[in-house]
Amino acid sequence: MAIAIYPGSFDPITHGHIDIARRARKLFDRMFVAVVANPHKRPYFTLEERVEITQAALVEEGVNGIEVISFDGLLVDCAREHGADAIVRGLRANSDFEYEFQMALTNRDMAPEFESVFFMTAKRFSFLSSSIVKEISMYGGDVSTFVPKSVERALLGKLGHAG
């Protein structure tokens, strides 16, 4: 049984992340979306909120068979704990490639039993990031084309404009 783990901050999850998860799910018998605590970033949503928002978004978008988990620490330790064979990552641009290449090689040095599997983003999501979504939302812009309705509601709720 092939098991994959798709890690990220998911602060918040976007249609681009969901597209990667949906496509990866087709290739693996079991899949985890792993929301990382990442103490070096200052997330907009708490870890618990990000897990809940991610679960709700996957359900809303009809992406089934994925378990959403959280972790704090090394990705390879989380992957071992869940019996993963592969680490899934998405690539948008050259800058993503450089960072992901470095991380994949580092992970391979620490845990050669895992393969890194990269998915090219769909063209329509190539510019999309959680940071952009948060910034648009903070300035009152419409993020409905970038995130599922449940994520949009969570963003509005965070800003005190629950709708």
Which residues form the catalytic set?
A: 17, 41, 92, 130
* Rounded Cα distance, 141 and 144, in Å: 9
> Quick one: how far is CA 38 from the chain centroid?
13
Question: Could you give the 3-state DSSP secondary structure of residue 43?
Answer: coil
Strand order in the sheet with 30-36: 66-71, 30-36, 3-8, 86-91, 115-120
